[in-house]
Amino acid sequence: MEHQHKVHILAIAAHPDDVELGCAGTLIKHAQKGQKVAVLDMTEGELGSRGTVALRYEEAAKAAQIMALSARENAKFRDGFFVNDENHQKQLIYYIRKYQPDIVITNAPQDRHPDHGRACKLVHDACFLAGLRHIVSLEENAIPQNAWRPKRVFSMIQDMALEPDFYVDISDQMELKLEAIKAYGSQFYNPQSNEPLTYISTQNFTEEIKYRDALNGKKIGRKYAEGFISVHKIGIDSLDSLVYPSLS
């Protein structure tokens, strides 16, 4: 019998809005396939210069609806100050075992924001440790959780122009991705806002996300794409797996 919370993909990222910017198109695409997709935000984004924690929760919930997520939770780590230690690893182990994802997507291995690279290493370590049965974690009803290790952990591309190992075509999902980003009205471009102008709240920033995904798409002969990094080498079943349908 399938675990009640099991999902196909679990995206674990440092801040609310990280997944929207980096991999929302891919998450939407898999949700549209009928697969269960969930998000775990590691912090509440409480150090953000604009908006409030309460507003970020509202925005994250709105974005979750747009992306058709099966679940979205927040681990409430300290924004800017969480570390890769036993305590944080065990907290992530709980969520990994709860959702039993086949695939985990996390932050870039290095980026402008130091939380991103730190989160990436923490998630990779927790995904490995979650597969060790002698590490005990409990469900909400105090029943021991089963060990679980995702089949693959991938990193999204964020602010730094890192070289992806592969791309996912999101041409049909780009408009919904932009809607999910715009759900964070307090964080991104809003001409009616009186809050401080930040790096991500300029009109150019959201336009650059679209340009980046357009450039990625061009590299694979599609309109838009998202790039991902894989620690492990990627194998295919046959050369036919690399052949796209002809463009019309």
pLDDT for 91-115, tens place per residue? Answer: 999 999 999 999 999 999 999 999 9
Picking from 97-106, 107-116, 170-179, 233-242, which range would have the lowest pLDDT averaged per residue? 233-242
Rounded distance, CA 44 to CA 74, Å?
Answer: 7
Burial of 78 (0-12, 13-18, 19+ CB in 10 A): middle
Residue 1: the pLDDT is 52
Q: Is residue 73's pLDDT more than 90? A: yes
Residue 82: the pLDDT is 98
Average pLDDT along the chain? 92
Average pLDDT over residues 185-206: 71
Strand ranges, E, within the chain: 9-13, 37-43, 71-77, 103-106, 152-156, 166-169, 225-230
Rounded distance, CA 78 to CA 46, Å?
Answer: 8
Q: Model pTM?
A: 0.93
For 214: left if phi > 0, alpha if psi spans -120 to 50, otherwise beta; the answer is alpha
In sequence order, what are the beta bridge partners of 25? none
Helix, strand or coil for residue 19?
helix
